[in-house]
Amino acid sequence: MTQTVGAPGSARRYLHSLWLLSGRDLRVRYSTSALGYLWSILDPLVMSLIYWFVFTQVFERTVGTEPYIVFLIMALLPWVWFNSAVTDFTKAFSKDARLVRSTSIPRSIWVTRIILSKGIEFLFSLPVIVLFAIVGGATLTWGVLLFPLAVLLQLVLLVGLGLLIAPLCMLWGDLERTTRLILRALFYASPIIYGIYDLPGVFPTLAAFNPLAGIFSLYRVAFFPDQWDPFALAISAVMCVGFLGAGLIVFRRLEPAVLKEL
Amino acid sequence: MEGDAITVDGLGVRFRRNRRGRRSLKDLFGGSSRRSRPNEFWALRDVSFAVKRGESIGVVGRNGQGKSTLLKLVAGVLLPDEGSVTVDGGVAPLIEITGGFVGDLTVRENVRLTAGLHGMPRAEVNRRFDGIIEFAELEDFIDTPYKHLSNGMKVRLAFAVVSELDEPILLVDEVLAVGDKAFREKCYARIDELLAGGRTLFFVSHNERDLRRFCERGLYLKKGRLELDASLDEVLDRYNADYPA
């Protein structure tokens, strides 16, 4: 008998399977298109240029910090990661139904593999920030050391949301479109084209209860120390952990029903 | 228990009768006592048995009596509503014709993926790759997308990969009925080999000759219950008495 990669159920086997599936996702994405890797950059690049044009050339803009394009992109790229992962959560089980139906790997892998492959694409797109920071003349501060913390928070949030959304969408078809609608609203409800401090009245306090607010502000601290917001960050951290807890409970509860539905 | 490869205890699983039935939050989150489920039926209930390591079990029953459901529960791709299934070691499942293969990926990628998900290290997959392809007789289709293969080819590939996995338990559903005679003989020779090597076999078939060839013990499922757990001859006699040809 030859050796296998870790015993079934071990952390090593989990990572092996996770890596295998995420790697496959990336290979499929990069090998089926002529531009391959460039798509990871092109997409956020074009989006940033559009927002830059609209908000710095067309409209009088009173929000954000200069250089605005860097300010924007520091939240836009993490948003693309969040948005594409949550969109894929809605089809996490149905997309590979056959594989889920016949492979007894831990079912949470179907969620985490999405987060990982989209996360890797996010990391691949980081050179866009470097490019704009140089062109726009933004100065890097010590805040960049908090970047990994922001990534970690976003990971926790995504795992929690994924464990919630993926099984619920499998059981109730309506939720797939609902999720997409909420995402669209969330884009404007999160500090992406603006910062938390640009909000009037009580809204900065309210906005802090959107876990993305604390995370995006933390990303921005790398270039904009004035975006540091311990209040939003603390609430965001608590909420991320809360979502993770809720996700774990719901996922365990719904797993048998999801498998029957496939 | 020492030496038991599979232990099934009070196993039960229920399905909804109609797919479109309404599902309420209470059904999913409420405790079992609070649920109202007029639209559900038990596909399997009160099934208990133990399989020793190296034993070969034939599962007998008419269509829709829970044979495939039992196999899926043993394979761990379905979770029980009642009772438990304990499997000691990994399971190599040959359950559905397309078992675990992805249509858009090529034959090569599918072999890597399936073997990898069963924990086979990459180097090991590479070492065995040629053997798998040769067994499946797919030398000319290595880079063909899986969905373009014929049904017979799909089964050949699935069997070639799954039988190459080093899992101690082999589950075989009726998939082999699809292959042609020559290939079936090849598969059977391979199963004999695996059995001689001490694997545990869980075999579902309607074919009496196949069952007699591999299995010593039989499980007879009727209406989701374990009607009889005895030697294969006894089980087949009872089955034939219940449903005379």
Residue B24's closest CA among B15, B16, B14, B36? B36
pLDDT confidence of A85, banded at 50, 70, 90? Answer: very high
Give yes or no for B40 touching A (CB within 8 A): no
Here the tokens at position B184 are: 């079936």
Contact between B77 and A102 using a beta-carbon 8 Å cutoff: yes
Give yes or no for A100 touching B (CB within 8 A): yes
Contact between A98 and B98 using a beta-carbon 8 Å cutoff: yes
Q: Which residues of A touch B104 (CB under 8 A)?
A: 28
DSSP β-bridge partners for residue B49: B8
Contact between A102 and B96 using a beta-carbon 8 Å cutoff: yes
CB atoms within 10 A of CB A198: 16
Contact between B78 and A260 using a beta-carbon 8 Å cutoff: yes
Contact, B46 vs B73, CB < 8 A?
no
Mutate to test the interface with A, among B104, B113, B122, B147 (most CBs of A within 10 A): B113
Chain A residue closest in CA terms to B104: A28
Q: Taking a contact as any Cβ pair under 8 Å apart, which residues of chain A between 3 and 32 contact chain B?
A: 3-6, 8, 13, 16-17, 20-21, 24, 28
Q: Which of A103-112, A207-216, B153-162 has the lowest mean pLDDT?
A: B153-162
**Mean pLDDT for chain B overall:** 83
How near does any CA of chain A get to the CA of B167, in Å?
Answer: 9
Q: Which residues of B touch A103 (CB under 8 A)?
A: 77, 100, 114, 117-118
**What pLDDT score was predicted for residue A215?**
94
Give yes or no for A242 touching B (CB within 8 A): no
Strand B40-52 vs strand B4-16: parallel, antiparallel, or unpaired?
A: antiparallel
How near does any CA of chain B get to the CA of A180, in Å?
Answer: 22
CA distance A259 to B51: 25
**Mean pLDDT for chain A overall:** 87
What structural domains and CATH numbers belong to chain B? 4-242 (3.40.50.300)
pLDDT in tens, A215-262: 999 999 988 888 888 888 999 999 999 999 999 999 999 999 898 887
Contact, A105 vs B117, CB < 8 A?
yes
**What pLDDT score was predicted for residue A2?**
52
The answer to whether residue A72 is domain-embedded is yes
CA distance B107 to B102: 9
CA distance A251 to B7: 26
Mutate to test the interface with B, among A1, A3, A4 (most CBs of B within 10 A): A4
The answer to whether residue A6 is domain-embedded is no
Three-state SS for chain B is CCCEEEEEEEEEEEEECCCCCCCCHHHHHCCHHHCCCCCEEEEEEEEEEEEECCCEEEEECCCCCCHHHHHHHHHCCCCCCEEEEEECCCEEEECCCCCCCCCCCEHHHHHHHHHHHCCCCHHHHHHHHHHHHHHHCCHHHCCCEHHHCCHHHHHHHHHHHHCCCCCCEEEECHHHHHCCHHHHHHHHHHHHHHHHCCCEEEEECCCHHHHHHHCCEEEEEECCEEEEEEEHHHHHHHHHHHCCC
How near does any CA of chain A get to the CA of B138, in Å?
Answer: 22
pLDDT in tens, A114-155: 999 999 989 988 888 888 888 888 888 888 899 999 999 999
The answer to whether residue A4 is domain-embedded is no
How near does any CA of chain B get to the CA of A237, in Å?
Answer: 27
pLDDT confidence of B1, banded at 50, 70, 90? Answer: very low
Contact between A257 and B98 using a beta-carbon 8 Å cutoff: no
The answer to whether residue A183 is domain-embedded is yes
pLDDT exceeds cutoff 60 at B31: no
pLDDT exceeds cutoff 50 at B188: yes
Indicate the Cα dihedral angle A38, A40, A46, A47, nearest 10°. 180
Q: Which residues of B touch A99 (CB under 8 A)?
A: 100, 102, 117
CA B140 to chain CA centroid, Å, is 29
The answer to whether residue A152 is domain-embedded is yes
Contact between B121 and A259 using a beta-carbon 8 Å cutoff: no
Chain A residue closest in CA terms to B171: A102
Quote the number of domains for chain A.
1
How near does any CA of chain A get to the CA of B234, in Å?
Answer: 32
Contact between A96 and B102 using a beta-carbon 8 Å cutoff: yes
**What pLDDT score was predicted for residue A1?**
44
CA distance A45 to A124: 12
The ipTM estimated for the assembled molecules is 0.82
pLDDT exceeds cutoff 90 at A185: yes
Domain that holds residue A163: 11-261
Residues 6+ apart with CB under 8 A from B147: B103, B104
pLDDT in tens, B96-142: 655 678 777 888 988 988 888 888 888 989 999 999 999 888 889 98
CB atoms within 10 A of CB B195: 17
pLDDT confidence of B24, banded at 50, 70, 90? Answer: low
The answer to whether residue A217 is domain-embedded is yes
